[in-house]
């Protein structure tokens, strides 16, 4: 029974603001330990529930945040960039379930450090007409490979979001959103118990089924017109509004690869204080 963990950091225990998740800061060094603690709690629960192999895919920023030396020795970790499927690298390797750990609400939504891929420049993403967080996008990709989402953790807004795209998944709110940069947080001893118990319970749903590929449309709205203009240079991407682009793809895998290109080009077009 093989399980994958897609581990993001904004939704980890205690994280509430920028320095907590930006590599190189003193706070980041502190929260790397708490982030690793969350991951270990889930790993333990998964093995208690019957997992025989757990692959942890680092999914935050440069994807070099977890402390390998402190990782549960039963797990394996995929770390570093660049990966074709980014946050979901490994979903195509025959895993029987996936955990979204440390996730957050999407761009334009309320939630601690809410965003979708780019921290500031994207104000909204839609998948087939539905507002899409990273969780919704990644769940659609998992479904293409027949892999169920077993567990989602993050703040309460991330868990509310998950109820829409993975209604059967366990949900663990490690903190309660007060604002984008503030939350009521539970101490790691408590969140570890919650995460471990939910991971153990989630293993009842770890059954891979035949996947189904289908066409998808992604639309992205930016906070400035020049970012939409830059993204529209990509073949198949059309500018549909002053700050908005859209594109169609034959599969969700193709859609996510195209989305990565769009966000990378937009990020490269940001210029200093004016964005």
Residue 124 pairs with which residues in a beta bridge?
A: 221
pLDDT for the residue numbered 272: 87
Q: How far apart are CA 111 and CA 176, in angstroms?
A: 9
pLDDT at 274 over 90: no
pLDDT bin (cut points 50, 70, 90) of residue 98 is very high
Question: Secondary structure of the chain: what % helix, strand, coil (to 5)?
Answer: 35, 25, 40
Task: Give pLDDT tens digits for 111-138.
Answer: 999 999 999 999 999 999 999 999 999 9
Closest by CA to 104, choosing from 64, 151, 161, is 161
Specify the pairing of strand 216-222 against strand 76-78. Answer: unpaired
Task: Give pLDDT tens digits for 171-206.
Answer: 999 999 999 999 999 999 999 999 999 999 999 999
Residues in the chain: 275
Half-sphere exposure of 209 (CA within 13 A, CB side): 7
Percent of the chain with pLDDT over 70: 100
Long-range contacts of 115-118 (CB under 8 A, 24+ apart): 115/10, 117/259, 117/260, 117/263, 118/263, 118/266, 118/267
Both tokens assigned to 270: 């940001």
pLDDT for the residue numbered 81: 87
pLDDT for the residue numbered 45: 98
Task: Give pLDDT tens digits for 36-89.
Answer: 999 999 999 999 999 999 999 999 988 899 999 999 999 999 999 889 999 999
Start-to-end C-alpha separation, the chain: 46
């Amino acid at each position: 029974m093989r399980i994958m963990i897609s581990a993001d950091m904004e939704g980890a225990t205690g994280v509430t603001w920028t320095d907590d998740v930006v590599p190189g800061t003193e706070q980041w060094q502190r929260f790397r330990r708490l982030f690793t603690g969350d991951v270990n709690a889930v790993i333990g629960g998964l093995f208690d529930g019957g997992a025989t192999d757990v692959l942890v895919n680092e999914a935050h920023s440069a994807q070099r945040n977890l402390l390998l030396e402190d990782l549960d020795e039963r797990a394996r970790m995929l770390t570093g960039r660049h990966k074709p499927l980014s946050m979901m690298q490994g979903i195509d390797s025959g895993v029987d379930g996936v955990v979204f750990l440390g996730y957050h609400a999407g761009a334009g939504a309320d939630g601690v450090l809410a965003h979708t891929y780019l921290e500031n420049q994207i104000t909204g993403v839609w998948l087939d007409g539905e507002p899409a967080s990273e969780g919704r996008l990644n769940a659609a990709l998992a479904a293409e490979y027949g892999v169920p989402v077993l567990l989602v953790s993050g703040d309460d807004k991330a868990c509310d979001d998950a109820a829409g795209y993975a209604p059967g998944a366990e949900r663990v709110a490690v903190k309660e959103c007060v604002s984008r940069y503030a939350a009521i947080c539970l101490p790691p001893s408590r969140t570890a118990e919650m995460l471990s118990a939910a991971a153990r319970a989630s293993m009842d749903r770890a059954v891979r089924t035949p996947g189904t590929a289908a066409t998808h449309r992604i639309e992205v709205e930016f906070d400035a017109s020049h970012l939409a203009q830059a993204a529209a240079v990509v073949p198949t991407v059309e500018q549909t509004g002053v700050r908005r682009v859209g594109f169609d793809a034959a599969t969700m895998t193709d859609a996510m690869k195209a989305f990565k290109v769009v966000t990378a080009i937009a990020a490269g077009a940001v210029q200093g204080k004016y964005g």
